[in-house]
Chain A
Amino acid sequence: MSTRLEKEPGQATAAEAGPPLLELRDLHVYYGAIEALKGVSLSVGQGEVVALLGANGAGKSTTLKAASGMIGPRSGQVLLHGERVDGIASHELVQFGIGHVPEGRRVFARMTVLENLKIGAYRLRRPDPADLDRVFTLFPRLADRRKQVSGTLSGGEQQMLAIGRALMGKPELLLLDEPSMGLAPLIVQQIFEILREINSQGTTLLLVEQNASQALQLAHRGYVLETGSVVMSDAADTLLSDPRVRAAYLGEAIE
């Protein structure tokens, strides 16, 4: 596959050298009495793209929310560079270099594109004008619409804005919750190309996706979640050719 060749060799294994950038250890998360995560463990190495696959309700979004401090686990640990960060509120956790692009984009609909991007840099004492240029280079359409109120953007543009907004905070690790949701295939293609570009510039990605084929083509490694537990984890190629994955997430019939 041609897309595989664009990845730098050895990136996927770089994780084993030091402590991984992000590590989740045996996370149990509850919504009231319902156990959403039943002991999820995973790791994301520096520079990697890791895909998190699974059906609706498998716990993909919950895993991301636990990683960015939006919800606290009842037990288990969240580690960044080997240091425990679970229990730290999300507004403080962003200072550790985590950017979270939430499900459904959730741009500030009544603010302009530029205002949204500026809020993305809220955590920085002195925002760097170069960051704005970088976002506008990645997403030229946002530059054209910088004065436009975000609620009037198309779905794809809103997704670009949500990613751009998170980039403004200079994240080391970008958590992406279903960036392809509800978008036309062509736009999805574009967004995944840009994600590849962002990764090649040095940002680590943890990607939640229903669109398994797109996600696995971009990712180095993947995890498959089912009802709150990790049921498979492997290199992206292996998952992509696994008959169970193909049957469950790529819409192929089992022979």
Chain B
Amino acid sequence: MSLSDIWDVLVLGVVLGSLYAVIAIGYTLVYGVLQLLNFAHSEVFMAGGFGGVIALTIFEPTADPSGIQSVVYILLGITAGAALGGFVAFGLEKAAYLPLRRRNAPRLVFLITAIGASFFLYNLAGKLFGRYPIPMPSMYENRRLFTVFGAPVSVTQFLIVVVGVLMLVTVDFVVNRTKLGSGIRAVAQDPEVASLMGVNIDRVVSRTFVLGGLMGGAAGFLFGTNLQVDYTMGFLPGITAFSAAVLGGIGNVRGAMLGGLTLGIVESFTVEIWGDAWRYVGGFAALVLVLMLRPTGILGERVGRAA
């Protein structure tokens, strides 16, 4: 493997990793406020993919779009993906998790519900949209846009990284600098005291789901731009992004970003060195290794309950 090969693979890894990072945020935010591993988040991601396809199919992109048209299509797809993702996450919390919280259900019941909701949602999508992959309408010519020190970057790759980074910066701002963010952090640390300060826990939880859903949905659309969407598309990226959240330190927003990027790069190198059959082995091996050495993840679990 020459030096320029390594560079190419690294660029690919960063593209994949920024996608994982965006999805991982959804897992880590929800874990932060509810200590819940929301396995149905992969279906929020899937919903975002379909949201983008549906919006673009209705809009019918012209065969040979101009630059401005391409930008409009892309924005439309991101918005639709984020909107459907946010909507599904909102509904998921209201229908599946809120009733359990009202009854003070044990943690295990939440986990099983999450898995059940995941099965329900992706089979619902299979029923509604068919079990065959649906190609993403072409919004632009996916040509080589530019090279980064020799590594080619396509339009899609550029798009994924730029939108991904924008979303990560936004969510970091929301969590650390806004009132909603201070509510999210307060609920994550001590929900009882947070409500003594006037924080409406139900509202903060619901908005946390929506925030994660918007990001996951947009990521689903971006993932779909690569090729196609189908009802099972959430599973592997979802579980990888979940691992990324754990790797970075679950509950920790910046940890999720770091974990996502790490897994993307590791996966990319694994494929390059050992071939596509080993794609997920490298990333999960890295996860196991890190957790053996540092059980709280790279940046450490951030869900401190007040001692």
| A interface residues with partner B (beta carbon < 8 Å) | 68, 70, 89-92, 94-95, 100, 102, 104, 106-111, 115, 118-120, 122-123, 151, 165, 169
With known contacts A102-B193, A106-B306, A122-B179, A111–B199 Cβ distance under 8 A: no
CB-contact partner of A119 in B197, B200, B304, B307, under 8 A:
B197
Please provide the chain B residues from 34 to 78 with a CB less than 8 Å away from any CB of chain A in the complex. Answer: none
Instruction: List 10 extra interface pairs beyond A100-B196, A106-B193, A122-B183, CB under 8 A.
Output: A68-B196, A70-B192, A90-B195, A90-B196, A94-B198, A108-B306, A109-B306, A119-B194, A120-B197, A123-B197
**Residues on the B chain within 8 Å of A89, using CB:** 195
> Do the beta carbons of A122 and B189 come within 8 Å of each other?
no
**Residues on the A chain within 8 Å of B197, using CB:** 91, 94, 119-120, 122-123, 165, 169
Q: How far is the CA of A104 from the CA of B307 in the complex (A)?
A: 9
Q: Which of A90, A107, A118, A120 has the most CB of B within 10 A?
A: A90
> Do the beta carbons of A122 and B198 come within 8 Å of each other?
yes
Nearest 5 A/B pairs, CB to CB: A123-B198, A91-B195, A94-B198, A122-B197, A106-B306
Q: How far is the CA of A106 from the CA of B194 in the complex (A)?
A: 10
> Do the beta carbons of B198 and A91 come within 8 Å of each other?
yes
Distance between A78 CB and nearest chain B CB, rounded to angstroms: 15
**Residues on the B chain within 8 Å of A106, using CB:** 190, 192-193, 306
With known contacts A109-B306, A110-B302, A94–B196 Cβ distance under 8 A: yes
Distance between A127 CB and nearest chain B CB, rounded to angstroms: 10
> Do the beta carbons of A102 and B304 come within 8 Å of each other?
no
Q: How far is the CA of A169 from the CA of B196 in the complex (A)?
A: 10
Distance between B253 CB and nearest chain A CB, rounded to angstroms: 13
**Residues on the B chain within 8 Å of A68, using CB:** 196
> Do the beta carbons of B196 and A118 come within 8 Å of each other?
no
CB-contact partner of B304 in A94, A109, A115, A165, under 8 A:
A109
> Do the beta carbons of A91 and B200 come within 8 Å of each other?
yes
> B182 at the A/B interface (Cβ < 8 Å)?
yes
**Residues on the A chain within 8 Å of B306, using CB:** 104, 106-109
Q: How far is the CA of A100 from the CA of B304 in the complex (A)?
A: 21
**Residues on the B chain within 8 Å of A169, using CB:** 197-198
With known contacts A109-B306, A110-B304, A91–B190 Cβ distance under 8 A: no
> B201 at the A/B interface (Cβ < 8 Å)?
yes
Distance between A172 CB and nearest chain B CB, rounded to angstroms: 14
- B161-195 toward A: CB 8 Å interface, digit per residue (1/0)? 00000000000000000010011011001101111
> Do the beta carbons of A109 and B198 come within 8 Å of each other?
no
Q: How far is the CA of A182 from the CA of B70 in the complex (A)?
A: 65
Q: How far is the CA of A119 from the CA of B307 in the complex (A)?
A: 19
Q: How far is the CA of A162 from the CA of B183 in the complex (A)?
A: 17
Subset of 11 A-B contacts with CB under 8 Å? A70-B195, A89-B195, A90-B195, A91-B198, A91-B199, A92-B200, A107-B306, A108-B189, A111-B186, A118-B182, A151-B307
